[in-house]
Copies of this chain bind each other. A is one copy, B any other.
Amino acid sequence: MDARLNHKFSQRANGLKNPLAKALLALMEEKQTNLSVAVDLTNKADILALVDKIGPFVCVIKTHVDVIEDFDQDFIQQLTALSEKHRFYIFEDRKFADIGNTVKLQYSSGVYKIASWAHITNCHTVPGEGIVQGLKEVGLPLGRGLLLLAEMSSKGSLATGSYTQTTLEWAEKHNDFCIGFIAGRRFPNLQHDFITMSPGIGLDVKGDGLGQQYRTPHEVIVNCGSDIIIVGRGIYGAGRDPVVEAQRYKQAGWNAYQERLSGK
């Protein structure tokens, strides 16, 4: 396993180039959380109420703003205020997937103006390196960071083999802007250090019937070298208490990280 995984997040911060990546790792150590919550609710009030409850326990709130029925700039202002109040970063899980010229517009403009408020966003690499270049032209001057999708946890994903390998090469090349990966494991043999964020984390269920497959925090952090667990319906699904669940997942993620540091 990569020797950097024996180092604390706060130490690894020194080895990353992107300022936002450094700040995120430092925050995680200070706040003792490597939990990100994927908030996929569909109206402003529900999302803001949930985020205000779970904000103290997370390092990153992951959004899909294009599923919010009553999205407006007031939502962004309130979400930004919560990110300052509770100290977390906002990751818009846009999964950009178009050519460079188009993603520049999609990232900066339109109704959402994602680059103006999302500290982190992500993209697929299937269109070629131009997508990273295009997003970087917009995001780097604003101090933003980009995650690449090098693998996906969903059933039958085509991000494998040379697709994954080429994605890693582009991350190395653009490590001023690429802060890491959305993936189920840490990728070995990379020159630069990156942050790995793993979706599809659950403690109680195995799948959702539409191709999503779940794994535990211990599995992805200790066994697979990931850094941040992304939990969605496990936190706020029907019948769950989000505060209880956020604390439970925070603890599970942090325990797994501590176990990794201890080298057991």
Q: Does A203 contact B (CB under 8 A)?
A: no
Q: Does A129 contact B (CB under 8 A)?
A: yes
A166 touches B155 (CB 8 A): no
A111 touches B111 (CB 8 A): yes
Q: Which of A4-12, A96-104, A216-224, A252-260 contacts the other chain?
A: A96-104
For A, the interface residue count at a CB cutoff of 8 angstroms equals 51
Interface of A, secondary structure class, is loop
Q: Collect the chain B residues with CB atoms within 8 Å of residue A154's CB.
A: 99-100, 127-128, 130-131
Q: Which of A17-25, A60-68, A80-88, A242-250 contacts the other chain?
A: A60-68
Q: A154-B99, A159-B126 are in contact. Are A111 and B211 (CB under 8 A)?
A: no
Q: A66-B66, A128-B211 are in contact. Are A97 and B99 (CB under 8 A)?
A: no
The digit string for A146-157, where 1 denotes a CB below 8 A from any CB of B, is: 000100101111
A153 to chain B, nearest CB (A): 8
Q: Collect the chain B residues with CB atoms within 8 Å of residue A167's CB.
A: 158
Q: Collect the chain B residues with CB atoms within 8 Å of residue A205's CB.
A: none
Q: Does A119 contact B (CB under 8 A)?
A: no
Q: Collect the chain B residues with CB atoms within 8 Å of residue A101's CB.
A: 208, 210, 212
Closest B residue to A133 using CB positions: B210
Q: Does A78 contact B (CB under 8 A)?
A: no
Most buried by B among A66, A93, A112: A66
A126 touches B124 (CB 8 A): yes
Q: Bound complex: CA of A212 vs CA of B128, how far in Å?
A: 10
A42 touches B100 (CB 8 A): no
Q: Does A116 contact B (CB under 8 A)?
A: no
Q: Does A105 contact B (CB under 8 A)?
A: yes
Q: Collect the chain B residues with CB atoms within 8 Å of residue A127's CB.
A: 152, 154, 157, 211
New contact pairs (8) apart from A95-B98, A129-B211, A133-B211, CB-CB < 8 Å? A40-B102, A66-B111, A68-B110, A71-B110, A125-B158, A128-B156, A130-B210, A158-B163
